[in-house]
A and B are shown apart, each in its own frame.
Chain A
Amino acid sequence: EDQVTQSPEALRLQEGESSSLNCSYTVSGLRGLFWYRQDPGKGPEFLFTLYSAGEEKEKERLKATLTKKESFLHITAPKPEDSATYLCAVVTSGNTPLVFGKGTRLSVIA
């Protein structure tokens, strides 16, 4: 059974304090790994897709990386507006349902 585990469950950072969120996965054949951001009361917002080990993608203060067993979402010099739940998901076949982790709740304190 495909599994996605995210850690930590919650993370509290001071503004400007860089850190990383982890997403480890056990799947039969990875076709893609996705990162989403979810704000309270809203749907998940797409951030990145990674397809192969070694791939990296960046957007503003966020950088996602992928290895054969896990992905990291690096947050550099975070700001309070980066506070949200970050969700990781995998897909093992084209255009099929995502298998989600439980998410990491990030709080950035000014």
Chain B
Amino acid sequence: DARVTQTPRHKVTEMGQEVTMRCQPILGHNTVFWYRQTMMQGLELLAYFRNRAPLDDSGMPKDRFSAEMPDATLATLKIQPSEPRDSAVYFCASGIYNEQFFGPGTRLTVL
């Protein structure tokens, strides 16, 4: 049963620290998305890649967030420095054609 995996599942850190979240997309999916979910805003797109090339990262604060796909099996989202307002659940999704499948998320708490 192919699934998107994300690590870590939970992260608590202090303001100013670097946070790295990892995602392994479903094998064969050519598009990877990073979303952030909060109670107030719901699910919002941060960035996405197709065939490992970044297509849109306009949803990310560029001065602190970065997203990369070093290879087809790994996508990363980094926050440096982290701030309390970054506390949220971060989801990775992978897709092919129009269907997207989500990972279990990383719950980030920045103190």
- Could you tell me which A residues sit within 8 Å of B by CB distance? 31-32, 34, 36, 42-46, 49, 87, 89, 91, 94-98, 100-103
* Contact bitstring B52-86, A, C-beta under 8 A = 1, else 0: 00001000000000000000000000000000000
A32 touches B98 (CB 8 A): yes
Residues of chain B contacted by A36 (CB below 8 angstroms): 102
The interface residues of chain A, by DSSP majority, are classed as loop
From 30 to 71 in chain B, residues with beta carbon under 8 angstroms from any chain A beta carbon are 30-31, 33, 42-45, 48, 50, 56
Task: Pick the contact of A95: B43, B50, B91 (CB < 8 A).
Answer: B50
Task: Pick the contact of B103: A43, A95, A103 (CB < 8 A).
Answer: A43
Q: Which residue of B lies closest to A4 (CB)?
A: B42
Residues of chain B contacted by A98 (CB below 8 angstroms): 33, 43, 45, 100
Task: Pick the contact of B99: A49, A97, A100, A103 (CB < 8 A).
Answer: A49
- Could you tell me which B residues sit within 8 Å of A by CB distance? 4, 30-31, 33, 42-45, 48, 50, 56, 91, 93, 95-105
Q: List 25 A-B contacts (CB under 8 A).
A: A32-B98, A42-B104, A43-B91, A43-B93, A43-B102, A43-B103, A44-B43, A44-B91, A45-B102, A46-B99, A46-B101, A46-B102, A49-B99, A94-B97, A94-B98, A95-B30, A95-B31, A95-B97, A95-B98, A97-B45, A97-B56, A98-B43, A98-B45, A98-B100, A100-B43
Residues of chain B contacted by A101 (CB below 8 angstroms): 42
Q: Which residue of A lies closest to B44 (CB)?
A: A100
